[in-house]
Structure 1
Amino acid sequence: MDFYRQPSATSDLGRHRERLAGLPAEPEALGAVVRGLLIHNYTASVQGLRFSDARMSHMETVGAAAILDNVVGIDAAALDRERDAEQRMFGFCYHFALLHCALLRATGTPARIRCGFAGYFVADHWIDHWVVEYWDGSRWVITDSQTGRSDLTADDFQDGVTAWNLCRGGASQSEAYGNGELWGWDELRGSLINDVAALNKVEVAGWYWCDRLHVEPLDQPHQELDASLDVLAGLAADAEITKAFDLYPDLRPPADAVAR
């Protein structure tokens, strides 16, 4: 628990630590704070909101401190003041999960973000998504920082390790996993390495940096690569997190990896 209570390079609030004063410590209340600071790119589109190119570039932001740079650069009010939609940082599920995780760790709650697939956006499909797990004293509780759904079950969310193992074992079909544009094995591979990285507290989004995953065709099985990923997933499932990346350093995100 101490490992997940301490900040990572990406979840360290750094210069913004003084802004924690007055924030709630209760995990779900902190999730509500995050939703008052950020707006999802899809939500903005549905609401017909228009943002400048500079504001839209916030989608590429990595790191909780950088997220808060954007937030207070738009509106310097206290973090517990809910912003109007137009005054929130433009981002996606990764940003919601990372900022929530950072606030949880900073207020003493062990937490980690998980990359995987949500089953509640599109019927009979698993859509790639980032969520937060926090330790409530007896178990890990999964919460969706973007939507406010809490205490997610296996029917709601599959982390990248679980989804990979289910599809490789034939219990699930790879074509049901994706994001509206990309479906199948590429999505499963990318979510797996993102999930294992996040378990290591290396919290980045996207996997364009990983040359090892650039195989053709992307949405089909690849014997050599997938065999390596089976080992990675097995180690992660057995909580051998550090060993997983020690064995396959080419699947570890580089220090300069950024969200796409």
Structure 2
Amino acid sequence: MSYSQHTAWSDPGPFAGSLNDLPADPGQLANCLENFLIHHAAARSLNFGVPDYAESDRNLRTVERLLQTAMDRDNRPLTEHRKLPAYLYGSCHDFTLIAASKFRSQGIDARLRVGFVDYFRKDRWEDHWLCEYRKDGEWRLLDAQLGMRARQGHGIEFDITDVPRSRFKSGCELWLAIRGGEIDPATCGLFYAGISGHWFPASNVLKDAATLAAIEPLPWDYWGPAREFSRDRAVSEEAQAQLEQLARRFVPAPSSPEEASSMLEDFDWARPTREVLSFADGELRERLLL
């Protein structure tokens, strides 16, 4: 398997035609995603909120389910702008997964990267997922959530199809920076939700390694030691050291899903399980990874 092949999460299934309607250019793709997809937190901050029937959108998990829901609400091509009631109300995961699906459908290497960015809040590393894709033999970062309107709203001036590496740290990179005393864990988290501290970046180390192995969970899925992090919001010194060992193996990132999967064999506790503890409907519940 290569990063240009679909996973069970990125496969559009019978909605391949709808995916093909989306533009191939990365920048235009991000602009087009704004026609039918909005971050649920952005919808709330803009004071029009999330419709009750769309509260579960961010738990759809797969591109097939996302596109099916979008087309059920408005069956016009995805290039056509929707009215708000017909939108999908997702998360950065969904923008990233759809972008990766589009690249893979074109035979382009693409992978979800779990990490943190510094461009949403001053002096803060905010949880955020980007799509890393290969162009001209090099890996580049696309922030698929930053279409034209989002860029204007956040005052983004850099090229969102080639996000500067200094503005993004993968979960593994950030954990090593925390362990090295370079970054204060209190400055890392999901600040619109009031989340920060060691436990949150600790859980992202597991998700970063998983997506590199072509296993693509939701941002609020927890397994292995992260089950305890999510409940207790504390990370023992022993767990911190174990996560450091895992992070060191995944920096730099592996060259293929097979390599990543092989690396995970040395860390059985870090591999996602069939059932994960996931935050849905306001509480932590057992959910199937797929």
Whether these two folds match at TM > 0.5 is: yes
Report deviation, 1:179: 0.7
In the TM superposition, residue 218 of structure 1 has moved relative to its aligned partner by: 5.1
Partner of 1:194: 207
Give the Cα separation in 2 of the matches to 1:117 and 1:98: 17
What is the distance in 2 between the residues matched to 1:133 and 1:25?
A: 15
Which is strand-richer, 1 or 2? 2
- Who is 2:144 aligned against? 145
Q: Secondary structure at the match of 2:196?
A: coil
CA distance in 2, matches of 1:65, 1:259: 21
Mapping for residues 58-207 of structure 1, pairs under 5 Å: 58-148=57-147, 149-180=160-191, 181-207=194-220
CA distance in 2, matches of 1:208, 1:190: 9
Residue type at the aligned position of 1:103: K
When residues 50 and 174 of structure 1 are mapped into structure 2, their CA distance, relative to the original with a 3 A threshold, is closer
SS at match of 2:203: helix
Match of 1:235 in 2: 249
Provide the rounded CA distance (Å) in 1 between the counterparts of 2:274 and 2:8.
Answer: 10
| Cα drift, residue 249 of structure 1 | 2.6
Distance in 2 of aligned mates of 1:66 and 1:47: 26
Asked if the contact 1:5/1:111 (under 8 Å) is kept, the reply is: yes
What percent of counterpart residues are identical? Answer: 26
Provide the rounded CA distance (Å) in 1 between the counterparts of 2:4 and 2:177: 30
- Does the CA-based 8 Å contact 2:112-2:130 persist in structure 1? yes
* Stretches of 4+ aligned residues off by more than 4 angstroms: 215-221, 256-260
CA deviations over 1:21-78 (Å, ceiling 9, x no partner): 4432222222222222211112211222244322111121101111111111111111
Deviation digits for residues 165-220 of structure 1, max 9, x if unmatched?
Answer: 11111121111101122212111111111111111111112355314121599555
Aligned residue pairs total 259
Change (3 A) 1:224 1:57: same
- The alignment status of 1:254 with 2:267, answered yes or no, reads no
Partner of 2:288: none
Mean Cα displacement is larger for which, 21-30 or 72-81?
21-30
Q: How does 1:1-40 map to 2 (within 5 A)?
A: 3-40=2-39
Cα distance change on mapping 1:216 and 1:84 into 2, 3 Å: closer
Note the residue ranges of structure 2 that are not aligned, 5 or more in a row. 148-159, 281-290
Task: Provide the aligned C-alpha RMSD in A.
Answer: 2.2
Structure 1 stretch displaced more, 214-223 or 117-126: 214-223
Task: State which drifts further: 102-111 or 147-156.
Answer: 147-156
1:134 Cα deviation from its structure 2 partner = 0.9
Which stretch of structure 1 is more off in the superposition, 192-201 or 39-48?
39-48
Counterpart CA distance in 2 for 1:155 and 1:235 is 21
Which amino acid is the alignment partner of residue 176 of structure 1? T
Cα distance 1:96–1:259, how it changes in 2: closer, same or farther (>3 A)?
Answer: farther
- Relative to 1, partners in 2 of residues 1:129 and 1:53: Cα closer, same or farther, differing over 3 Å? same
Report the Cα offset of residue 10 of structure 1.
0.6
- Measure, in 2, the Cα distance between the counterparts of 1:216 and 1:41: 21
| Cα drift, residue 90 of structure 1 | 0.7
Report how far residue 221 of structure 1 moved.
4.9
Give the secondary-structure state (helix, strand or coil) at the position aligned to 2:112.
strand
Over 3 Å counting, the alpha-carbon distance change for 1:220 and 1:256 in structure 2 is closer
Query: Per the alignment, in what secondary structure is the counterpart of residue 163 of structure 1?
Result: helix
Moved more, 248-257 or 111-120: 248-257
Cα distance change, pair 215–83 in 1 and its aligned pair in 2 (3 A): closer
Q: Write the distance in 2 (CA, Å) between the matches of 1:259 and 1:207.
A: 6
Amino acid at match of 2:198: W
Relative to the length of structure 1, the TM-score reads 0.91
CA distance in structure 2 between the partners assigned to 1:255 and 1:28 by the alignment: 35
Q: Which residue of 1 aligns with 2:264?
A: 245
Aligned AA (1:55): A
For 2:155, the equivalent position in structure 1 comes to: none
